[in-house]
Amino acid sequence: MLIANRGEIACRIIATAHRLGMRAIALHTPADRGALFTRLADDVVETPSYLDAPAIVAAAKAAGAECLHPGYGFLSENADFAEYCALEGVAFVGPPPEAMRAMGLKSSAKAVMARAGVAVLPGYHGDNQTAKFLKERAYQVGYPVLIKAIAGGGGRGIRRVDAHVEFDAAFESAQREAEAAFGDPRVLIEKLILNPRHIEVQVFGDSHGNVVHLYERDCSLQRRRQKLIEESPAPGVPEDTRAAMTQAAVAAAKAVGYVGAGTVEFIVDASKGLGRDSFFFLEMNTRLQVEHPVTEALVGVDLVEWQFRVAAGEELPKMQAELIPRGAAIEARVNAEDPETGFLPSPGLLRALKLDALDVRVDSGFAEGDSISPQYDSLVAKLIAHAETREAAIAKLDAALARAVVLGPKTNIAFLRGLLAAPEFVAGTHDTGFIDANLERLGAVPQPPDARAALAGVEAIYADLAPKAAPATSDNDPWSVADSFELLGPRRVPFEAEVDGKTERFVAVARGRGVEIAFRDGRPAPASEVAPTVLVVDDGVLVLNGGRQTHVRPIDPEAAGEVGAGASDGAVKAPMHGRLAALAVTEGQQVEAGERVAMLEAMKMEHALTAPRAGRVTLAGKTVGDIIEQGALILTVGE
């Protein structure tokens, strides 16, 4: 079996393949040489791209693979790729091409569901792709609307438009992202529901005509349409609504002769309550999804094993009456991003990664010492908790996040814990707009330094930097103590350290043969539920406290400080490592403060860069498509 995917996805598939006695061959690009999934595999094959279908199939045949698992993402929903595999005699572990074509594109899927009598949202799903025509249709549907790529998934190629004047820029951005992600720039227009719940149904079919559902998952906690927390069953959904939704999903799969794993997604209008008339078909993902472990925990099955068995021509391992849900399951995605700086990607070396012994399932594509690449998504690991009740599952997941250790790249662990504790989530009254509407309350804004982490870091630095004293001749010998000396009272050494780039003032107080560190202003440090994790690095220490990372480094009082560049010098620099997706200005162009000047793409997201002041543009020689290092100059806005 060859895996045409990478990271956590490949690791997950390898685990099941090995349990079933299958030989797992990992496909990888040069950027993934030595990655964890390649180390776990029985054999490896290098390819220039995860999207090069001929090269991938040729590699599968050369390696003697009887089947190819596309994972989720990349070519997993590409009907042409599935057909090509069949022509070359390699079994594709996924649905038949005709089902993928019928349901894999959002536009055709909506037509299928409409014919089946399932409600779909108002909009335009046709072939006319001219900007003027689509803009007119958006006006007719009524703002706000969504512009959505008809291919792919994962929140890519989607833009919200609130006013007619915003349409053109959003359309261009959606098309550009769709083309880059899926090789298909086509989009559709869809009415935006303002208070929606996102609920999806896992379905599975075999080649013998059997189709079952494995219940629903609630994926409403999203940011920029990227799911962060998923759970099953969906809270607050009445049984008759659940029955109607799952029956509609099964009917849709049967209508296209669906085989394999798929997910039918619905938007639920919370303003209408959660009745049978409140849900609308959104799209179908013709593949296994990232959040499938939630379903596996709830129903007690291995969906990757089911995929292999169905691809081999077997019947489904269980029929509907045998699929009995037990308890509640919930998953959190730990991402390498910094919520306090607008969720900027945070790639880099994983200096510490300790996710074992957390009493939850952990799916990850990394080990300590690996590096998170800026070329792919930001997922570090998924933590999945299962318990008898929803409340117990939430508590179990939160406890695991509190003990998880990820140091090096910044992560969203503290933010995830804030989500789990939010009263709206606990009550099950949240919707897909909850995160964006509550960023400040959830801690996704710049925060003051973590006092407990700062002290823990300074204590480690002080212990590391303090001169070693000669052996003492007695406990009271003042000449053997390697710090300052005072005739009256304990010895006190004032000093400064940098905490996340900000200078803080501390004092070291001698206590017997030890030293106590405190803030000079007497500021207290709140207690931590779990002791902070301290890691010494080249330029100080990294401290993890409550899921939040703090960088503490010593300050040399004799070193001259540098004044950082800001808006005053007009420099526009890359806030993270990424690809220059667009330049919106030309040499010498006059711009206003706040005007968009460039677009940087990193970890599957586009990030707009704006002019720090009004003036004329001087380009720094960067061109669209260039890989830009963090901090590199892209352009300057001069007076």
**8 Å CB contact between 327 and 295:** no
| Bridge partner list, 281 | 120, 266
The amino acid occupying position 5 is N
Distance CA 184, CA 210 (A): 32
Q: Answer whether residue 566 shows pLDDT above 50.
A: no
pLDDT at 560 over 50: no
Q: 492 near 443, Cβ under 8 Å?
A: no
Q: Domains along the chain?
A: 2-93 (3.40.50.20), 122-191 (3.30.1490.20), 196-437 (3.30.470.20), 451-468+481-554 (no CATH), 567-638 (2.40.50.100)
> Which three-class secondary structure state does DSSP give residue 326?
coil
> pLDDT class for 252, splitting at 50, 70, 90?
confident
Q: Which amino acid is at 194?
A: L
Q: Is 287 a catalytic residue?
A: yes
Lowest mean pLDDT among 222-226, 382-386, 627-631: 627-631
Q: Quote the percentage of the chain above a pLDDT of 90.
A: 69
pLDDT band, very low/low/confident/very high, at 10 (cuts 50, 70, 90): very high
Q: Are strands 67-69 and 91-92 parallel, antiparallel or unpaired?
A: parallel
Give 621's pLDDT tier (boundaries 50, 70, 90): very high
More confident residue, 466 or 587: 587
Contact between residue 241 and residue 279 where contact means Cβ atoms under 8 Å apart: yes
Residue that the structure tokens 């350290």 belong to: 497
For 154, the token pair is 């994962």
Q: What is the pLDDT of residue 153?
A: 67
- What is the number of alpha carbons within 13 Å of residue 226 lying toward its C-beta? 17
Beta strand pairing call for 540-545 and 492-499: unpaired
Taking only the tens place, the pLDDT of each residue in 588-598 is 999 999 899 99
CA-to-CA dists, residue 479 to 193, 487, 493, 494, 526, angstroms: 75, 13, 16, 20, 36
Task: Give residue-wise pLDDT tens across range 75-129.
Answer: 999 999 999 999 999 999 999 999 998 886 777 788 888 887 788 888 898 889 9
Residue 72: how many other CB atoms lie within 10 Å: 24
pLDDT of residue 608: 83
Q: How do residues 419-466 score in pLDDT, each as one tens digit?
A: 999 999 999 999 999 999 999 999 999 999 999 999 999 999 877 555
Report pLDDT for 167: 96
255 — pLDDT class (breaks 50, 70, 90): confident
Residue where the block lists tokens 């920029």: 224
Q: Distance from CA of residue 93 to its chain's centroid? A: 25
Q: Which residue has the higher pLDDT, 464 or 313?
A: 313
Q: Please determine, for residue 577, whether its predicted confidence score (pLDDT) is greater than 80.
A: no
pLDDT given for residue 467 in this prediction? 45
Query: Among residues 12, 156, 217, 287, which one is catalytic?
Result: 287
With tokens 């814990």, the residue in question is 417
Mean pLDDT of the chain: 89
Residue 576: pLDDT above 50? yes
Q: What pLDDT, on the 0 to 100 scale, is given for residue 564?
A: 35
> What are the residues whose beta carbons fall under 8 Å from the beta carbon of 62, sequence distance 6 or more?
45
CB 553 within 8 A of CB 458: no
Q: What is the pLDDT of residues 143-200, one digit of tens each?
A: 999 999 988 666 788 999 999 999 999 999 999 999 988 889 999 999 888 889 999 9
Q: What span, in angstroms and rounded, lies between the C-alpha atoms of 95 and 592?
A: 51
Residue 603: predicted pLDDT: 60
Do residues 10 and 71 make contact, with C-beta atoms less than 8 angstroms apart?
yes
Strands (DSSP E) found in 246-370: 260-269, 279-285, 328-335, 337-338, 344-345, 348-349, 352-354, 361-364
Contact 543, 532 (CB under 8 A): yes
pLDDT at 152: 66
- Cβ–Cβ < 8 Å for 228, 435: yes
Percent of the chain with pLDDT over 70: 92
CA within 13 Å, CB half, 25: 20
d(CA 175, CA 188): 10
Residue 352 confidence (pLDDT) above 70 = yes
Question: What pLDDT shows up at residue 557?
Answer: 61
Among 349-353, 402-406, 409-413, 610-614, name the one with the lowest average pLDDT. Answer: 610-614
Assigned token pair, 19 = 């349990």
Three-state secondary structure readout of 107-160? HHHHHHHHHCCCCECCEECCCCCCHHHHHHHHHHHCCCEEEEECCCCCCCCEEE
Looking at residue 463, its pLDDT comes to 74
Longest Cα–Cα distance of the chain, Å, equals 92
